Structure 1
Amino acid sequence: MIGDVKSILAGETKEKDDPTAKPLSLMGHKKSSTKRPETFKRPEKMHRELYNLIGNAETKEAGAVVPTEIRKGFRQLNAQLAGRPARKYKWVPFINEARNDNLQLYHWQRVDKLENPEPYPFAKFNKVINIPDFTDEEYEKYFKVAKWTLEETRHLFDVCRRFDIRWPIVHDRFDKEKYGQRSMEDLKDRFYAITNELALLKDPNCEPICFDADHERRRKEQLNKQWNRTKEQLEEEEMLLAELKRIEVRKREREKKAQDLQKLINMAEAPASPSVSGTCMSPALGKKKGTMRQKASSAAANSTTTFNFNPVDISVSAIRFPEFKSAGAHLRSQEMKLPTNIGQKKLKNIEVVLSKCKLDMNPMGTEAIVAAYNEFRSQIILLLELKSTLQTAEFELETLRNRMVEEGKEPFEIEPRMRISTVPENGLDPEEVTGDEGAPATTRRITACIDTSSSANPLLVRKRKLGTGSLDVTRTRRT
């Protein structure tokens, strides 16, 4: 209470001292007449977290999140048509450049554009298919067959040219009364056979259009059978598909159990049969160490060399393509994707072999094609490993043969099937594949396409392994 009195007295004293001071009212100051700036309120049903993320922190302007037009739009606005004169139009004829029958058409055109008429804007959408033509001499020389006459073939090409190779219309408009009944596959087969021959006559390197009439007939027959299935057949098919899924699930479970069992067997056998190149050796191998050194020294004294080859592990050489075991749909073409751990050397060899065999790098992803395509590429990698191993064996045999020549001994002959470095670029001559003992079994055309060259010279690698002084084989042990 005393503080309030002092503040009142202090206010009065200040008012007396300051002539510009306003009189103090005991009822309080009046509210200021200035309006507060309008702030953007959070819209209804909008979460607070979303509201804090949008707009400026001070103004909270939502931008394009909420409509900024407060008026009701064009419903309350009248069209501003006054102030300029209406344009004049005239009903005039025009020419459609896409037509060749001189048809006279009319449309409304602005008067100011009559002096410089523009081409018909829709004429550019008239795409005409260029169908080749042939002469009578070409027909007699290249296209004459017993089932088709010249007049019938020309009629087919005229109908195709008239209806832009729309085969249902071509088949319907084909003159069956004059030339007999022809199926759509027969018309397609005849048309594409002649167009391919004409294209090859003009350009021998062009790619022909592939059409298999027999395959098309079988496809339509299968579709008709599938369409004409009864309700009982559909139910039986669904039951068989469900049973097939259950069989596949049980098969995967058995394979998984077999893999787990094999892992346990390998883990149990690992201590009993350790690797020779491991960090530890069994006592039996330790006892044989001295004997092996004695054999190596005696081999060096007799100037003979023992060569050891490691067989190719097919399981390691094969490509592991991605497997989709989880539920859900996926593109079958993803099953053909090569894994990322394939080296550039193997990728290059796969591309070269596919190019030499004229195979597509990305074929149609059907089940049979995917399985065959993946198996073929795995065989390419396996063939690469086999060729590398055979080259190593050939090098070792050649080294041993040269050593025997230097020592004055009678050298042995290397069989032709062991010769891989002398295979020409296009493979062996078929006459060399005689089937005799020691002769190659195939022409090795795909093997000739595979490149096994590496950055390191095999002779230098061999010298580094065996030492520069001699070619004696020694066994080392890591400590």
Structure 2
Amino acid sequence: MNTADAQDILGWNATPKDEGILPIGGLTDVDRKKRSNRAEAHFKRPEGMHRELFNLLAQDSEKNLAALIPSTTKNLGYRNQKARIGMRQVRPWVWKPFENPARVDGLQLCHWQRVDKIEAGAPYPFARFNKVINIPTFTDDEYDKHLKSLKWSKEDTLHLFDLCTRFDLRWPIIVDRWEGSTRRTMEEMKERFYNAVNELNSSRDPSAELLCYDAEHEKRRKEQLIKQWNRTPQEIEEEEMLIAEMRKIEVRKRERERKAQDLQKLITASDRTPTTPANTSSALSPAAGVKKKSVIRPKASTANIAHSASTSFIAEHSSLRFPEFRSAGAHLRSQEMKLPTNVGQKKLKNIETVIEKLKLDLVPVGAEEIVVGYNEFRSSIVLLQELKHALQTAEYELESLRTRYQAATGKTFEIEPRMRVSSMGDSSMFGEDKEGTNSGLPSSTRTITDMIELSSSLPQAVSVSL
């Protein structure tokens, strides 16, 4: 034994050696017992067991075996036990007779009941569900004064009240058990009973609340239910189609009313500002502050006066509001020709279509007169589109009224071509009618109106026989 071993045994601090150097004996130790590489035993799959089932029970070794019974407590199975039989004393039950207070014939029945819950003189526990309807009775004098009727005898009336008392106003049973002198319907029995009860209550207490029953209404209701029940699948499908079509008509009607109100506001507006200010286009002009000389112009003709009046009407009632430059400072006159941002795509398309067909410039020269006229021209296009749409709506309503008139009277009714939007494309309608061959047609020029396109949102009128 060397000194290092002795110090190690005695627990003394020996001189530390270089732990980074591996001794040669650790590499050439042939006496060390080698680890066995023998494969561990596997759980063998029993014969006749499918491979999928075996994989659920055992995967690679016995330690991975799945539990066949789920258990979290040893020898007790489930953690939460549902019942532990035999842990308490058995409660005795007895076969005991009882009587139901609802029966007045002395019927006695029996049932099982726990001994500890038996109480002497206790009522039947289900007797509280016995609800009795108070059916009034009447004497001979009351019948002679208030209940006498030509359609009902006294015996039938007594028999009716007796059945109502016995069967608690269960009318199908009362009708089935009726044995009167005359065969009665359920509506007749109800009407007789409720009228008699109202007469008795009124005679005994004038402030009593009366019962309401309408036999005719009940008959009509049952007839309607029978008709509804006897409908064929074709009739049900047709009714659903008519209901869907009625809803569409209501939606289109509300839409037309809304558009008519908007158009009325557009036409009757009288406090609009001018489309383009007359004194705001002097920007970038060297003589902006110089007073212009007065120019003597010839008197306007009647046609010019009418044109100026129509121009002022369009400028006053147009829905386009071009930008105005009221603040001080210079600006480009071409900025006054920019369309507002609230203009719809359909209006923009119609404006471009009319300008292209008339071979005009989309961006003309920014002279003052050109800017004013160009803005008024585009406002006129938008106003014509609104008026044409209103005419289309009126034509649809007129066509619907014509169809209803023909279906009701059987007479024909023709709509004049001047009231139809489709007649605007006729070339014979343009210009003045000098020879009188186009009587009844409008004589104003409508070339631009014919260029404007409308969306086909209004359906065609369909003739329906009501």
Structure whose alpha-carbon radius of gyration is higher: 2
The TM-score, its normalising length taken from structure 1, stands at 0.39
The TM-score, its normalising length taken from structure 2, stands at 0.40
